[in-house]
Chain A
């Protein structure tokens, strides 16, 4: 930490930093001699001390009375440990204050010169990090050999020769950085736009000069042009993306009225929309389109369209490209013979168009298998990336103690622009500050044993209610699904076919009803429990909700994969995948309908009720956590269903689009922002994590299990006839091996790596070890942070010590001078 600090009089930092009207020219010798005998290392030419002496000699008003009279701060110290610390209670003289405030570490935020100096240091560090060892011939001979390796001096020579100020050195550094680094540095500088423009212009001019001066080989010039072209393309792509920015105005209105919390729900909806769009594009382009262009031969008994299909997804839709069963299990060929049954091509009149060779073939089973796998893989990568980015922004290694300070400085939401919302936000902050003050001021009252026991009982009761209700509902779903299964087994033919189809809607309706009503029960239980800290209450509510949805989905997966897929003949199903796909479609649709009903009754009618009947002025609160969990549930269904219904992402996209507008109108009309403090970044991280871990992971485990172990139907779909869906990939590898014996390595690799579960175990083990190492690194960093904090405190103590010693010496000198003066006057 002992950097050589430059106390040069002409140092621009000092010039820029000092605001005191110090007389910089007068140098006094006696004080420096005094200091020289007190200290060991070269404080003798310390500028601040000379200045201090100048001040004291010029003004006569600094007397002891003044020093002991006014204080730096008028705080009364209560029983703090600081009272015993003499340094803080000291009264500093005005010169000491000036000295303190012109210390280099304090001037960073103050002036332009200081900012330029700081950024010079930063660009220097960046250059050091980025630079590889340059070759010797890049240097002029005047570069000193010992520092030749750094490559810095070569460009600094002429700069120094010109009497460079820090600004020119900064321009120099900027010029030597890569273009993206330079732009990043420029943008992050806290200077005005005009100055940044000037810096940029000087950098570009300098660059042009050096480029035209030296002979740059043509390949690096080409590289330079390529980089410029790529940058332009990137900017135009960003502009294009921005111009089709979805719902910009709507989001601004929502954030203007409700703030960042409610906005996060709509942003989450937008994120889900993009995930589904990606899925839809992938499956649409590679699965739906080829199959739609080459429709298979359809059976004769195709049902006609009746309105019920939109709700049940069965009937007319079951023989369309929407479901798994439509896809063929052979390779599609582009040929000019029109014996593709059902295809409406106009027969070319006699003239034969050239037949395409069998190169343009499309192996449908393989494509189906790989596309679904690839879609899940890329979704996983994108999810993990956004989760880690969000986690990085919100996670802080050390616990923060400055709660009140953060509340004062970070709680005002600048996005809110509506007048009434601004007023509400002020009230909210006021209330929170009062609560925090009360919390901080009162001594922690320990609950008596009786009270603790009572609280434990209440918590236990609430949890018992929640778990019992969840288990009861899950049990109910299990038996109801069994009942419906048996009903279909009996195949009562005297039932009207429409009624039979409508009865398929019973299970989805029940599940959606449970999803809607049970969280209300959980809210009641939480109200009974009365948590002290609102964030704990939110986490508990999320936990209970999650528990409900996970158990419901588990039971449903068991019902589909364990009952229906295991024995499809018992319910007269020729194609169980179609049935499961239709079930998922029905569940998705019912979920949407029930959300609509909830919005209508829960928000719209409740508002009327509370205003007219209960005569309350407050509108219902928009429950962000519950709504986000519903979105996650819907997305899990969509991911579960992609394998069986490649068009399900399209349905989900439509659902999300409609949901956005419905929720937006409802929120604007009926709701108000949550009154409890809502920590946005933490909540966003939690939601993205929930989307990744229970939701996506569960869906991918189900899909993997289906592909790995369940026998596909023998009469429909792209995997008919195979033992498992996974065999499609294996068959292709075997075919490759047959066609080209050189690729036997690939076949063997496939057999050993992909099919062998040991490889997966080893992979997972390595992954866990890497995670463990990283957590150890984080622990180490925590320790380093505490050590550095200690060091900062020690440095602070050093500073205080020095200042007090100087004060002391100064006082001694003054008293001795006065004594001398009074003695003189007495004579």
Chain B
């Protein structure tokens, strides 16, 4: 049985602010394909989020390493640029709202995109808002 911290790391106001689209100049470069990280929000409890990600990643061929509310997902098979390595972390924005960051740690970015697409299909009932939702122009 793993000992786990009670709560995920509380999100610092500046952490939240730095996610604003207006402060992410990567958008000037246009290419969606280059993005190496993404995030989604969830209203589920942090433990549930971690478990659901693990459940989704394993059948996709990924080894899962967990530590508190951070996870490392490693593709057992090597891809175009080595084994795809994905890091995720759950942050607490408010007691009932969490932000999950999913970031490519190693490997091919396009493979990361494919993996994330598969992962999000499996996580449909966990995800509240995707990054696309979050950046929709009103």
A complexed with B: no
